[in-house]
DNA sequence: GCCGTTTTCGGCCCGACTGTTTTCAGTCG
């Protein structure tokens, strides 16, 4: 059984227990365990084999046994029993906005309704009026929630959500009396996938801000509107936007509260309790020493962290993945920043399927302040993307030499994105590869091969003395094609052993190597590389999406080869 | 169900908004 399934079963158990009205803390224990396991990925098996499951946060003796049972037998008796008690359609009903476990259970108990479709029919037929406590408004909301599920998505990419968020911020910024406006929530944490958009505004007149916000052209539907907090559904993408308004004096505590993940906030508040404090969006309060709560800090995030005896934790790390412990000990990494990026190496030119000439790309890179830019066109067997024959490649090498002579201030490197063939060999012979400044190797065929075969192919490519980078190591195309089967643990090790960098592909359609995978690669001492996979000049901007992932993956300048200065990089490329 | 420089039992983050209520439970983040 895969770790993902183990996590899914725990989170379903949590839902069943919630529907049954069990102890909410027990429910939370299952939810937390599910998240822990989800974060771990396939490392779960290693930890289980070492019999160290109970060292994981939120996993005690009981859940450890359940995990072992699932890994060993592929199922869980306790779960099978629970499942009999609750029809699976109730899980779907829980996805309806505003409809929680209590109401779902009530409707099921009274009317036997156990699917979204039958719920809709029952409302249309007026049957829900029989249930005490469910009147007209609630029914309207349920119907609206059902419609919303049909037209919206559960997740949005950072890229698409951020574009919508920028439009809202532009508008809200102009409201009278808005002093500050900041993006918060998962977008501020730069998560690759987000569920909604959270915005924080500072104003002395929150009601008027709420009025204008809920009446914006950009808004389709108003989910909730209060004096300090409102939620709307944006017309674009049907994504939910939450706006919270607070006074300037609580700006710091509001940002902390509105930025951290659920788990991070819980951990921070628990830490506060231990110190005799209370943290909420209005500040940190001393509740232990005197009868009256005393405000200790609220103005800036730094004040809050310093009061908690923590180093400042960058927004991207606020996930409860060990950053609080690290901040206590002064052990947080110095995360990479945009200014640390010296260049890009995964760029396609007109030679293959890119839009611009090498010279145009070089000039654009110079404008961006890069020290170098590498041009990596496809290799001969990738005919569909106009892969270069050896003859064409030689022509390209000559052109790069000429451009380097005439264009000062930027170094152009001549590379290739060569295919890893079915047997793991590279699509150009070594005699050709050695003429290039660097080699990116990638899988573009044989996606259906077994996990062992693909893993073997990539490891063989790593062993080639001219291969410097493995591009898009999982082959995923977001929403179009699943990742191929590959044993990433082994790839991290091979990359580390043979001095090959693994690509964080920055293209929004690819986004290979998530933050968590990046952390794993780093733990094996593998180097990472940010590649935009640009086919147009605008796409060079995708580097920022890669920086987001790197920061969330705790990467520093030393971990990312794009941060090497030209000489340093050249030396590294020589393996 | 987890967890312990106050605890091995008794806690477990905190507050806004809604709908249906006459003071609050349910839901959400």
Distance A276 CA to B8 C1' (A): 23
Pairing label, strands A343-344, A372-378: parallel
Q: What is the pLDDT of residue A290?
A: 61
Q: What is the pLDDT of residue A216?
A: 96
Q: What is the pLDDT of residue A479?
A: 83
Distance A282 CA to B16 C1' (A): 13
Nearest to A383, CA basis, from A468, A434, A444, A437: A444
Buried residues in A2-13 as b, exposed as e (16+ CB within 10 A): ebeebbebbbbb
Nucleotides of strand B within 7 Å of the protein's CB atoms: 1-3, 6, 11-21, 25-29
Nearest protein residue by Cα to C1' of nucleotide B28: A98
Calculate ∠ Cα A422-A426-A432, nearest 5°: 155
Q: What is the pLDDT of residue A427?
A: 95
Write the DSSP symbol of residue A437. S
Which nucleotide is closest to A195, CA to C1'? Answer: B29
Q: What is the pLDDT of residue A291?
A: 63
Q: What is the mean pLDDT of each run of 10 residues along chain A (575 residues)?
A: 94 95 93 92 90 93 96 96 94 94 94 96 94 92 93 91 97 95 97 96 95 96 94 95 96 95 92 90 84 85 94 95 92 97 98 96 98 97 90 97 96 98 96 98 96 97 98 93 94 98 96 94 97 98 98 98 97 93
Nearest protein residue by Cα to C1' of nucleotide B27: A98
Nearest to A513, CA basis, from A546, A535, A556: A546
Which residue blocks in A449-534 are alpha helix, DSSP H? 451-463, 488-497, 515-523
Distance A369 CA to B23 C1' (A): 63
Helix (H) / strand (E) element for A398: namely helix A390-406
- Kindly state the tokens that stand for A434: 């050695």
Nearest protein residue by Cα to C1' of nucleotide B25: A102
Cα dihedral sign, A245-A247-A248-A252: negative
Distance A68 CA to B29 C1' (A): 33
User: Bridge-partner residues for A531, per DSSP?
Assistant: A505
Q: What is the pLDDT of residue A534?
A: 98
Which nucleotide is closest to A262, CA to C1'? Answer: B29
CA distance A390 to A243: 57
Residues ≥6 apart with Cβ < 8 Å to A402 = none
Calculate ∠ Cα A499-A504-A505, nearest 5°: 125
DSSP letter string, A108-147: HHHH---SHHHHHHHHHTTGGGGSTT--HHHHHHHHHHHH
Calculate ∠ Cα A28-A298-A550, nearest 5°: 60
Nearest protein residue by Cα to C1' of nucleotide B5: A274
Nearest to A2, CA basis, from A487, A456, A446, A454: A487
CB A506 within 8 A of CB A530: yes
- Structural Rg of chain A based on CA atoms: 27
Which nucleotide is closest to A268, CA to C1'? Answer: B13
Over residues A304-330, the pLDDT tens digits come to: 999 999 999 999 999 999 999 999 999
CB A233 within 8 A of CB A219: yes
Domains of chain A: 3-152 (1.10.150.110), 156-246 (3.30.460.10), 251-328 (3.30.210.10), 338-573 (3.20.20.140)
Nearest protein residue by Cα to C1' of nucleotide B13: A266
CB A110 within 8 A of CB A104: no
Which nucleotide is closest to A196, CA to C1'? Answer: B29
**Secondary structure string (H, E, C) spanning A246-296:** ECHHHHHHHHHHHHCCHHHHHHHHHHHHHCCEEEECCEEEECCCCCCCEEE
Q: CA dist A423 to A420, A483, A491, Å? A: 8, 19, 16
Nearest to A471, CA basis, from A429, A415, A520, A522: A415
Nearest to A137, CA basis, from A105, A103, A109, A110: A103
CA distance A13 to A31: 9
Which nucleotide is closest to A133, CA to C1'? Answer: B20
CB A33 within 8 A of CB A59: yes
Distance A109 CA to B16 C1' (A): 30
Distance A513 CA to B4 C1' (A): 38
């Amino acid at each position: 059984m895969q770790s993902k399934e183990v996590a899914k079963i725990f989170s379903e158990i949590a839902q069943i227990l919630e529907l049954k009205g069990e102890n909410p803390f027990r429910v939370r224990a299952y939810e937390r365990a599910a998240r822990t396991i989800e974060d771990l990925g396939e490392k779960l098996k290693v930890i289980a084999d070492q019999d160290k499951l109970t060292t994981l946060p939120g996993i005690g003796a009981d859940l450890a046994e359940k995990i072992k049972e699932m890994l060993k037998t592929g199922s869980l008796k306790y779960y099978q029993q629970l499942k009999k008690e609750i029809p699976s359609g109730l899980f779907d009903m829980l996805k309806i906005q505003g409809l929680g476990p209590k109401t779902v259970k009530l409707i099921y108990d009274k009317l036997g309704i156990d699917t979204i479709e039958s719920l809709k029919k029952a409302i249309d037929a007026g049957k829900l009026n029989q249930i005490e406590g469910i009147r007209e408004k609630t029914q309207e909301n349920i119907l609206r929630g059902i419609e919303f599920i049909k037209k919206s998505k559960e997740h949005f990419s950072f890229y698409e959500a951020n574009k919508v968020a920028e439009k809202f911020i532009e508008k809200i910024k102009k409201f009278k009396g808005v002093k500050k406006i900041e993006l918060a929530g998962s977008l501020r944490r730069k998560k690759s996938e987000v569920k909604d958009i959270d915005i924080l505004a500072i104003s002395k007149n929150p009601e008027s801000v709420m009025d204008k916000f809920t009446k914006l052209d950009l808004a389709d539907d108003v989910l909730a509107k209060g004096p300090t907090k409102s939620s709307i559904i944006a017309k674009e993408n049907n994504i939910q936007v939450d706006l919270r308004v607070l006074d300037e004096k609580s700006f710091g505590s509001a940002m902390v509260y509105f930025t951290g993940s659920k788990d991070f906030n819980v951990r921070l508040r628990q830490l506060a309790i231990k110190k005799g404090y209370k943290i909420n969006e209005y500040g940190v309060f001393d509740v232990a020493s005197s009868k009256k709560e005393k405000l200790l800090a609220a103005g800036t995030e730094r004040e809050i962290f310093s009061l908690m005896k923590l180093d400042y934790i960058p927004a991207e790390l606020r996930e409860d993945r060990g950053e609080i412990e690290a901040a206590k000990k002064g052990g947080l990494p110095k995360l990479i920043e945009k200014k640390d990026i010296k260049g890009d190496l995964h760029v396609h030119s007109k030679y293959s399927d890119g839009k611009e000439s090498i010279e145009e790309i070089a000039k654009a890179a110079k404008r961006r302040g890069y020290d170098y830019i590498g041009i990596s066109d496809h290799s001969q067997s990738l005919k569909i993307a106009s892969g270069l024959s050896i003859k064409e490649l030689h022509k390209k090498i000559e052109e790069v030499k000429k451009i380097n002579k005439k264009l000062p201030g930027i170094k152009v490197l001549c590379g290739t994105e060569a295919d890893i063939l079915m047997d793991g060999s590279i699509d150009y012979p070594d005699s050709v590869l050695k003429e290039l400044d660097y080699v990116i190797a990638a899988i573009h065929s044989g996606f259906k091969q077994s996990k062992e075969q693909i893993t073997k192919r990539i490891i063989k490519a790593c062993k080639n003395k001219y291969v410097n980078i493995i591009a898009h190591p999982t082959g995923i195309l977001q929403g179009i094609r699943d990742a191929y089967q590959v044993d990433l643990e082994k790839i991290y090790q091979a990359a580390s052993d043979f001095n090959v960098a693994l690509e964080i592909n920055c293209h929004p359609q690819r986004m290979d190597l998530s933050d968590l995978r990046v952390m794993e690669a780093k733990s094996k001492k593998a180097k990472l590389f940010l590649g935009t996979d640009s086919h147009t000049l605008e796409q060079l901007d995708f580097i920022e999406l890669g920086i987001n992932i790197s920061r969330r993956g705790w990467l520093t300048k030393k971990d990312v080869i794009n941060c090497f200065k030209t000489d340093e990089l050249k030396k590294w490329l020589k393996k």
